[in-house]
Structure 1
Amino acid sequence: MLLKVNRIRNLGVFSDFSWDAGLPAFERFNVVYGENGTGKTTLSRLFDCLKTGLHEDYPALEFKISSETGDFTHGAAAARKVRVFNADYVQLNIGQLDGNLKPILVVGEENKALSEALKQNERELATRKDLIAEAESRIAQHETARGKLFTSVAATISEATSGTLQRSYRKNNAEAAFKILGVSKEPTETELTAHRATLRQEAMDRIEAELTKTMMFSGNDHSFDQAARAIESAASSLCGRTVISDAIARLQDSPEIAKWVEQGHALHKALGSQTCQFCEQDLPADRWRKLEAHFNNEDQALKSEIERTIDEIDQLKKFLQSTSLPDKFALYGDFRHQYDEAKETLTTEVMAASAALDQITAKLAEKLGARTASIPFDIRLDFGGLANAFSAVSALLDNHNKKTELFTGAKDAAKKAIEAYYLIGIKAQVAIFDAKIVDEMALITQNKDGDEGAGMAALATLEAAINEKKMQISSAHKAGEDLTKLLQTFLGRNELTFESSDLGYRVKRNGKDAKRLSEGERTAIAFIYFIVQLKDQDFDLAEGVVVIDDPVSSLDSSSVYQAFAFLKSAVRDAKQVFLLTHNFSFLRLVINWLQHDPAAKKKNKMYMLVCRNGATGRHSTMGPLDQALIDHPTEYHFLFKTLTNFNGDGTIADCYHIPNVTRKVLETFLDFFAPGKNSLYSKLSQVDFDENKKTAIYKYANDNSHFTGQGFEPGLVQESQKNVTYLLEMIKTLAPQHYAGMVAATS
């Protein structure tokens, strides 16, 4: 059973409602009394939306209703079925009766055994659907947990591959990558560190420096090894050559003097002078002839060749020493350490090669002064280390340039490797969830498709069997007969009938489609249709909640008793009943029933809705039904008590309802004190009381008890307090015995 409406938010006059702690919980039978506008229909709509947990007119609705089996909240359908009769039901099911009413299927007496089989099938269907729903719920839980794994790993991958918490890689990316994950081995920590380093780097410029792989000597490009052999060969050959000449012994024995004399000889030949430029004496002819013989053409050719070789070696050394290498910071960080080592090795090898070339140059310089004799040459050049050093530096520069060219691809590869590393890390956990989901899917398949070995029919077969049994035991025609009998009993006449067809029921008047039905007739048709519908196959009255809002609102006084009799009979066996009304006569009938019927006497609760106007609009509250309404046979007692207890707290909200109450009490009192068909004003004019006070009472009750659209005057509070006092004073003056009796009865 429903126990309490704990709270309601954003629902009309129940915009901020909370259950009072002192208010008793609902019972099996519950009565809610309230004037029009206090929220009875709104409350019935709240009960109606328990079917789905939603209210299409109030999407922001929030509520919490506690029950014996748990709480019902917005967004979730209640397990227990609820049937609600209110103005919405009348409009939805009856409208203007321009079409067919939906057929009502009831169980015929002759099909009880088939009905029991049907119930068994329906229980099995419900159990199977529950199992399917539970399995689907568990699948949803597993998928949620599985999804959280991917959400978490996606955040880790995003940070690892972007170096920032900004999310560029999300759950769907991780799931898509996991589906095509082909890596079975995780990267090592070293590989992972390298991949992370790659991602942290930015693309650098190419290094255009090209290091030589050859050496120029004697006009030809040689490999380093070939160049070494060529230099050795040339120097060795020059050192081994001799010039046959009429050598001057002193010059032959003294290379320094020979060099000095050779330079002087060349200078004098160039000047064409036979006079010594040093001593200014004529050169003896014999001396000049001997110098010519000593420095002959062959000798000069050897000299030139030696000098040229020395110059080539010197140029080659300068070339090696002028090799320009880029700064290490022009390379990627992962190459810099190796580059420093290779650069240092190259510098060392260049110095070693230069030193070796200097040795050969010195040997050739020695040969220049001793061209007439062979000198030994035992120097060996080894440029292998130099070649390797150049190759090592060149390779590093090439690797740098390749990385620049393939930088985007390298980053992508690093990202893929890191992604795979983390996805492999959750592989086992994902496999567990996938296995659980597969098991639940198998359970769903078994319950949907059935299991021949276990004697379990397919769900579709079971549903077809249920529908077939329903068709066998259902009688829409019987329900149509019941509707006609009830309607004729209800109205006390027989011109209106229900005609059954495959499409439903049509309401006929004297055999023709009923048109221009009165409000009372429409209400009567809707009410008995609702009552009969409580018996249909889709609703188990013994386990259901029935809510009925003002079933007598458009009925004349003679029909109120019929409506009550029908209602009492229809809901007697319901699990729980809520009756809402503003009609005092109907309320008295319900109270009398609940106070005397043994089945309801100790299982009922009575409540009252009161709506007041506040700073943020109109708000309804719920409290116990006033004892005056329970103890006395007329509404007049309650209204009289309301006025005698009215003091006012100084707010418009507290006196919002007082003008209406004042008018009702005034009208009721004058009906017996000044009976007749005259207007309220005429009746008030007939009584002997202070004219000024009578005028004030009339104006207050007449003007403020009707909606004008202009709002309340600021003086309403004072006017209410003053005119309530005047009215009670008038009643006491005109009918002191009546006044005293009413005070005593309502105290």
Structure 2
Amino acid sequence: MIQSIAKLTKFGIFQNYKPTPGLLPFNKNNLFYGWNGSGKSTLAKLFYSVNDKAVHKDFDTCEFLVTIKDHVDVTQKNIGENAVNIHVFNKDFIERNVNFEQSKANSIIILSEEKKEDMDNYKKLISENETKKDAHKKADGINNKAEDDLKKSLSKWASSIKKSFELIETNNNYYLNYDRTKLTKFIKDNKAAISKDSVLLPDIVKDLKNAIKPTQKEDIYKENIIELSLNNVLAEFDSIENLVAKSIFSNQISRLIANPDINLWVQEGLSIHNEYKSANCEFCNQKLPVGTISKLNEHFSVEYTKLIDDLAKAKVNYEHLAIMVHVKCPETIELYDEYHPEYILAKAQFELDQRECGKLIVEAVEKIELKLEKPFGIIAHKFSNVNATFENFNKSLKGLLSIIDKHNLKNQQFDEEVKKGQQKLELHFVSDILLTEKYADTEKLIEDQRVELVVQAEALVQLDANIKAIEAILINEAVGAHSFNESLFKFIGRKDISIEFDSALKGYKLKRGGKASPATNLSEGEKTAIAFIYFISKLKENGNKIENSIILVDDPISSFDSNHLFHSYSYLKKECEQALQLFVFTHNFQYFKLIRDWLIKKNKKDKIKSHFYSIDCTTEENRTSSINNANSTLLEFNSEYHYIFYKLHALKSLISLDLEKAFLIANLSRKLLEAFLSFKFPKGRNDFNQLLEAGCSDAEVREKVYRFINKYSHNQQIEFHETPIDNLLGEGDNIIHHVLEIVEKLDKAHYDEMEEVCKSNLVA
């Protein structure tokens, strides 16, 4: 059962509704009284929204909370899933089901109770259908939640991947705007590649992050870094070993041999003397002794000269080799960041091998210089590890050059290489996250649930087909029409209006008279009677049970005379007394009294509690409505007159009035005086002014009362230029006294009793 309306905003006249303090919760039977315009029909639309399982089209931005006993509360968010079995009679129901302009109504599906076996099977299938629907709905909810959770996770993972690329400082908009949609597509397109093998080691990830940075570098010039000819190098070292060990046979001069520096000096001097053919010593200008030049030429023989030349050439060769070995390597910073670690290691090894080669070259040069200094001496020397040392040099040089080649290749294919690196990183990030979060297990679970939902849905379709097949056997629209016509006859007391099932329309035709002509030009009372009986008949549709239903009826007595009022009350009582919960809204005090007395009697007899409410509305420009516990004058007296007298009497103590109170007082005063004076002066009088003239002999008081009421009641426009508004508002409290004085002077006994009623029924 519905317990309360705990919240209602942006819903017509209920802009910010909250229950008033002390408001009773809804009970089995609930009767509401409110004047036209107080908000009854608007409130009925809220209940119709629950019935319709959709927010009402007139209030699509509303918010509400309808509390349900022992069940999930209904809000604008979950209204489509609510399980409240509620049926609402209001204008929305009539517009949807009965077309008076075309004289037709929707079909009423009544199930035949005569075919017991089929009915039992039908009820069994209906129960099974409800059970399977609930199971399907529950499974669907679980699946939807799992899918929503996975979507949230995918969004979170995509955000993490996006941040990883942002930290790398990439300029690729694809990764800078990475989101769930891109991640989902990547997973779909790369399902086979997403595995633990795609999760890279930290060092590789670090290199890739460096590789995809957007700054492009220059090519590295490497033509001066060349590999050595190992054969030539080995030949050079073998040659030096031979040269320094070579012995020169000549007429040697012992002093020159003993003094290499003198030997060198003399050798240079001999060359000068031979060139100039000098007979005298160029140093002292003394004539050279006979045979001196010949002796020296014999000392510095051709073999000697060749040795010296060979040693000089070898020294030059080693100086060139030293240049080739000690080539300067590119700085690490010149290469792309991802090559730095291996380049640093390769460069260190290369420089080590450079130093080892340099040592051998220095050793060779030293031996050459020693031999040049003492050419007649024999130097026996063997160089160690020449082959291995220079092989290592070439090997480390190749390693260095291969890294430089990779750098230069990336430079030539920069955009493509960056893209490849980005794709590898994306695959790594995705694989790492999905494996860690066990995405495959979650996806499989959701897919299994989807398959199961399809199976359940197919079973429901088949079950629904079986139910419809039995319904086709059980349904008898003619029974629905007969039941409706019987009720309408009792209601309006004649048989000239009826309905007849039309298979082409898949509904009923409204007809009038024996010739079955369309029922046109229906009175408002006839329309209301037809719609109300149609609603009650439809409550039993498809085997629905009244005792399992919540029923709300919004003013089912429009344009009814007193006889129809009683029929409406009796019909409602007869058909809806066993309802799980009943709500009745009315503006008619006579109808309110009939329902009220019935419910009060039930309270005493059956101890079934009924609650009574009034719907009250403010009268300012932005009107608002509230639901209140019914005042005791509504519950204890038999006319609306008591209620109006009570409301007016409660306002007589006001010192000043605002515009809202002025409208209220004017309308209450008019209602009270019209009712009282019409009773006191039963002769026909044409208007309110004539009634007032009959009841009030004081022309000044009469004019004041009439002017105030005429200004503030029932008028669409106030003529402010005639009388200042402040003057009229200032007279408001006096007007109440004048109105009550008119009643008191005409019937003192009546007035005194009414005043006692008001004093004994004051409500805080």
TM-score normalised by structure 1 residue count: 0.86
Whether 1:697 and 2:697 are equivalent positions in the alignment is no
**1:136-193 deviations in whole A, cap 9, x for unaligned?**
23333444455555555555555556548988354872695388255665789x9235
Separation in structure 2 between the aligned mates of residue 244 and residue 295 of structure 1, nearest angstrom = 10
What runs of 5+ residues in structure 1 fail to find an aligned partner?
216-221, 450-457
Aligned counterpart, 2:428: 417
Separation in structure 1 between the aligned mates of residue 462 and residue 719 of structure 2, nearest angstrom = 64
Whether 1:535 and 2:540 are equivalent positions in the alignment is yes
Aligned counterpart, 2:183: 173
- Residue identity (%): 25
3-state SS in 2 of match to 1:417: helix
Shift of 1:517: 2.5
Aligned counterpart, 1:526: 531
Separation in structure 1 between the aligned mates of residue 697 and residue 433 of structure 2, nearest angstrom = 95
| Alpha carbons 2:68, 2:74 under 8 Å: kept | yes
Alignment equivalent of 2:566, drawn from 561, 568, 571 = 561
In structure 2, give the amino acid aligned to 1:63: F
- CA spacing shift, 1:614–1:266, aligned 2, 3 Å: farther
Shift of 1:459: 4.0
| Alpha carbons 1:40, 1:549 under 8 Å: kept | yes
Alignment equivalent of 2:227, drawn from 187, 191, 214 = 214
Aligned counterpart, 1:102: 106
Separation in structure 2 between the aligned mates of residue 710 and residue 129 of structure 1, nearest angstrom = 60
Whether 1:508 and 2:519 are equivalent positions in the alignment is no
In structure 1, give the amino acid aligned to 2:678: D
- CA spacing shift, 1:733–1:194, aligned 2, 3 Å: same
Aligned counterpart, 2:483: 482
Aligned counterpart, 1:720: 732
Pairs within 5 Å for 1:674-689:
674-675=681-682, 676-689=684-697
Pairs within 5 Å for 1:302-381:
302-321=307-326, 323-330=327-334, 343-368=347-372, 373=376, 375-380=378-383
Shift of 1:652: 4.2
3-state SS in 2 of match to 1:9: strand
| Alpha carbons 2:245, 2:378 under 8 Å: kept | yes
Pairs within 5 Å for 1:280-679:
280-283=285-288, 286-295=291-300, 299-321=304-326, 323-330=327-334, 343-368=347-372, 373=376, 375-380=378-383, 382=386, 384-389=388-393, 391-392=395-396, 394-396=398-400, 398-399=402-403, 402=406, 405=410, 406=417, 408-410=419-421, 412-427=423-438, 431=441, 434-435=444-445, 438=448, 458-502=459-503, 503=505, 504-510=507-513, 511=515, 512-537=517-542, 539-596=544-601, 602-613=608-619, 617-646=622-651, 647-648=653-654, 651-654=658-661, 656-675=663-682, 676-679=684-687
Aligned counterpart, 2:39: 39
Separation in structure 2 between the aligned mates of residue 424 and residue 523 of structure 1, nearest angstrom = 67
- CA spacing shift, 1:305–1:605, aligned 2, 3 Å: same
Shift of 1:544: 0.7
- CA spacing shift, 1:397–1:541, aligned 2, 3 Å: farther
Whether 1:88 and 2:98 are equivalent positions in the alignment is no
Separation in structure 1 between the aligned mates of residue 209 and residue 349 of structure 2, nearest angstrom = 31
- CA spacing shift, 1:45–1:311, aligned 2, 3 Å: same
Pairs within 5 Å for 1:240-319:
248=253, 250-271=255-276, 273-283=278-288, 286-295=291-300, 299-319=304-324
3-state SS in 2 of match to 1:537: helix
Separation in structure 1 between the aligned mates of residue 285 and residue 752 of structure 2, nearest angstrom = 172
Separation in structure 1 between the aligned mates of residue 367 and residue 696 of structure 2, nearest angstrom = 157
Separation in structure 2 between the aligned mates of residue 724 and residue 350 of structure 1, nearest angstrom = 119
Separation in structure 2 between the aligned mates of residue 310 and residue 31 of structure 1, nearest angstrom = 124
Shift of 1:9: 1.5
- CA spacing shift, 1:272–1:99, aligned 2, 3 Å: farther
In structure 1, give the amino acid aligned to 2:710: N
Shift of 1:698: 1.0
Pairs within 5 Å for 1:130-145:
130-145=134-149
Aligned counterpart, 1:10: 10
Shift of 1:586: 1.5
Q: Which moved more, 1:720-729 or 1:394-403?
A: 394-403
TM-score normalised by structure 2 residue count: 0.84
> How many residues matched?
725
Aligned counterpart, 1:219: none
Aligned-residue Cα RMSD (Å) equals 3.6
Separation in structure 1 between the aligned mates of residue 661 and residue 112 of structure 2, nearest angstrom = 56
In structure 2, give the amino acid aligned to 1:506: K
Shift of 1:37: 0.7
Aligned counterpart, 1:191: 201
- CA spacing shift, 1:746–1:253, aligned 2, 3 Å: closer
- CA spacing shift, 1:20–1:346, aligned 2, 3 Å: same
In structure 1, give the amino acid aligned to 2:126: E
Shift of 1:104: 0.9
In structure 1, give the amino acid aligned to 2:738: Y
Shift of 1:34: 0.3
Shift of 1:198: 3.9
In structure 2, give the amino acid aligned to 1:267: I
Alignment equivalent of 2:128, drawn from 96, 117, 124 = 124
